[in-house]
Structure 1
Amino acid sequence: MDSPPDLSPLLPAPRLQALAQAWLEEDAPGPDYAALAVGQALCRAQLLCKSPGVLAGLPFAEAVWAATGCTVARRAAEGQPVAPVAVVAEVRGPGAGVLLGERVALNCLGRCSGVATAAARAVRLARAVGWPGTVAGTRKTTPGFRLVEKYGLLVGGAHPHRYGLADAVMLKDNHLLAAGAPLAQVVREARQVAGFALRLEVECGSAAEALEAAGAGADIVMLDNFNPETLQAAAAAVKAAHPGVTVEASGGISEATLPRFLGPHVDVVSMGSLTQAAPALDFSLRVLPGEGDGPC
């Protein structure tokens, strides 16, 4: 397996620092009394992955431990498969700092690696049937953990989709209902606002809506909550009339049903389950006997 690219440059250092600080303040809003039993003696600990999957999230763990005065040396590469019980990193620093960051760092790694593992499985399923399109996530992410989960999607080989509302103009069914105007009119007005820099996507509940949206200027039509057979027919109709429009399938697609939604006229399949339903990988920290560094 080829080594995956290093995606950590995508993570702004100030944002990592701010997230690490917020997570630590949530976990330790007051004194950590157990730290008195450990003190500031230097410690060395191994970071272990205890379940199989794809490793992701080390930059977040590193930011957490950096905030507690510790350093992390990687022993495994992100994006690579890991098997139990693999040592993925070594942590060094004051004993109180190592343990203060432990739970937060493990939570980040478990969640991020779980998303990366789910994403990698979905991409592998798509490629196994010869489908060349894009497997994507959605904005169905855990509050406060969006960057972690979007990064996990990328590490797993999926597309993160929109990070936030400003990344594209997406008109969903409620936008169209709230606008109280014909679909084509709403799409044309949104097209003017989007300008040249933003793509315009419209969520559609029927083939007729998809054709109308594409004809009015949508760059992407999302065929939402279609059954696989109806989806393929609608996608073919859109591509026949508007070959340059991107067709996205979404809504209730799971790993088990994914192959049924793949087809020659579908460009993107977006799956909320990659973030909402991905089980976390199990990580633990094991403090090692000191080697002249102190009682730890």
Structure 2
Amino acid sequence: MQYISDETIDRWIKEDVPYLDLTTLTLGIGGLKGKISFKAREFTVLSGVEEVLRIFTKLGITSTRSLSSGSVVNKGDIFIEAEGLASSLHMAWKVSMNILEYSSGIATRTKKMVDKAKSVNPHVAVLATRKSFPGTKELSIKAILAGGAFPHRLGLSETILTFKQHVAFLGDINNLARVIKEIKSNACEKKIIVEVETLEDACLLSESGVDGLQFDKIPALELKSIVDQIRGINPQITLLGAGGINESNIEEYARSGIDAIVTTSMYFGKPSDIGVTMEKL
């Protein structure tokens, strides 16, 4: 279960309802009781359901039926039903729909990628990067988990992941290799991963004591050859592939022998198509 604070839920509501719902007020329908239903218009992996139910609770809406995040629904399936005053239902409507459509879009794309990768390599992990749109990380992480992936890196404070942008300040890759032991002594409980782009750098670092290598933008067939060579040097090293991996080529990378596929592509695409209806009770 992922923790999302009440403050965050309140902020989402307040963003859409800064003062009041002027339309519902002027129509004079706010005190009438009604029912709201959310229905999938296509194959969808749900995410954000629990947050929507918390929005309902804060607005005095009672859920009568719901499926949990991670559930798979098909076109025409109703997955949330709830009852409350029209004023509350209209306050909850759009913010809830936005959460569900964007989150479920990510979850659905994630599941499709995970299923493709696992179909050719059951042991490969699919990892989502930290390149989600700023301000959406909580929902994005929940969505990729609902789709069957895991976060690659939740933030800069979590792991030691060295890029060429870091190496630029050390001079070159040889200097990085020389300081690996010092890094390990300073952060002995952390794994050290380095992103590489060439076989030469990969060989050097695999002998230096790094725990893992992340290969960036290397074609899948070429990566398979590199993986075989690195495994010969260090059979225990963790190998990851990253850069340009998406639903169209993820199977090729899963066949390369890497331990994990690192990708951003599930964050970007069409939101899920979800229909919302209301009726007076």
TM norm structure 2: 0.90
Tell me if the contact between 1:138 and 1:160 (Cα under 8 Å) persists in the aligned partners. Answer: yes
User: Do structure 1's residue 165 and structure 2's residue 190 form an aligned pair?
Assistant: no
State the distance in 2 between where 1:27 and 1:187 align.
50
User: Do structure 1's residue 278 and structure 2's residue 269 form an aligned pair?
Assistant: yes
- Structure 2 partner of 1:226: 218
State the distance in 1 between where 2:171 and 2:7 align.
41
- The one-letter code sitting in structure 2 at the alignment partner of 1:83 is N
- The one-letter code sitting in structure 2 at the alignment partner of 1:194 is A
- The one-letter code sitting in structure 1 at the alignment partner of 2:35 is R
Cα deviation, residue 78, structure 1: 3.1
- The one-letter code sitting in structure 2 at the alignment partner of 1:90 is E
- Structure 1 partner of 2:185: 192
Cα deviation, residue 131, structure 1: 4.4
Cα deviation, residue 134, structure 1: 0.6
Cα 1:43–1:179 change in 2 (3 A) is farther
**How many residue pairs are counted as aligned between the two chains?**
277
State the distance in 1 between where 2:9 and 2:179 align.
41
- Decide which of 195, 203, 215 is 2:195's aligned counterpart: 203
What's the CA shift string for 1:235-285, capped at 9, x where partnerless? 12221111111100000011111122123531001111011x232111232
Cα deviation, residue 56, structure 1: 1.9
Cα deviation, residue 230, structure 1: 2.2
- Decide which of 22, 35, 51 is 1:33's aligned counterpart: 22
- Decide which of 114, 117, 121 is 1:123's aligned counterpart: 114
- Structure 2 partner of 1:24: 13
- Structure 2 partner of 1:83: 74
**Structure 1 range deviating more: 52-61 or 176-185:** 176-185
Cα deviation, residue 160, structure 1: 2.0
State the distance in 1 between where 2:179 and 2:168 align.
10
Cα 1:238–1:44 change in 2 (3 A) is same
Tell me if the contact between 1:47 and 1:89 (Cα under 8 Å) persists in the aligned partners. Answer: yes
Q: Secondary structure at the match of 2:157?
A: helix
Tell me if the contact between 2:120 and 2:255 (Cα under 8 Å) persists in the aligned partners. Answer: no
- Decide which of 237, 248, 257 is 2:229's aligned counterpart: 237
Cα 1:216–1:68 change in 2 (3 A) is farther
- Structure 2 partner of 1:6: none
- Structure 2 partner of 1:260: 252
- The one-letter code sitting in structure 1 at the alignment partner of 2:22 is Y
- The one-letter code sitting in structure 1 at the alignment partner of 2:133 is T
What's the CA shift string for 1:138-184, capped at 9, x where partnerless? 11112221111111111111122222222211112212213435221
Tell me if the contact between 1:137 and 1:159 (Cα under 8 Å) persists in the aligned partners. Answer: yes
- The one-letter code sitting in structure 1 at the alignment partner of 2:218 is F
- Structure 2 partner of 1:134: 125
State the distance in 1 between where 2:86 and 2:6 align.
21
State the distance in 1 between where 2:185 and 2:32 align.
62
Cα deviation, residue 188, structure 1: 3.7
State the distance in 1 between where 2:80 and 2:68 align.
10
State the distance in 2 between where 1:244 and 1:98 align.
55
- The one-letter code sitting in structure 2 at the alignment partner of 1:31 is L
Tell me if the contact between 2:50 and 2:68 (Cα under 8 Å) persists in the aligned partners. Answer: no
Cα deviation, residue 115, structure 1: 1.2
Q: Secondary structure at the match of 2:18?
A: coil
What percent identity do the matched residue pairs reach?
23
Tell me if the contact between 1:169 and 1:190 (Cα under 8 Å) persists in the aligned partners. Answer: no
Tell me if the contact between 1:194 and 1:200 (Cα under 8 Å) persists in the aligned partners. Answer: no
Unaligned runs of 5+ in 2: none
- The one-letter code sitting in structure 2 at the alignment partner of 1:210 is A
- The one-letter code sitting in structure 1 at the alignment partner of 2:73 is V
TM norm structure 1: 0.86
CA RMSD across the alignment: 2.0
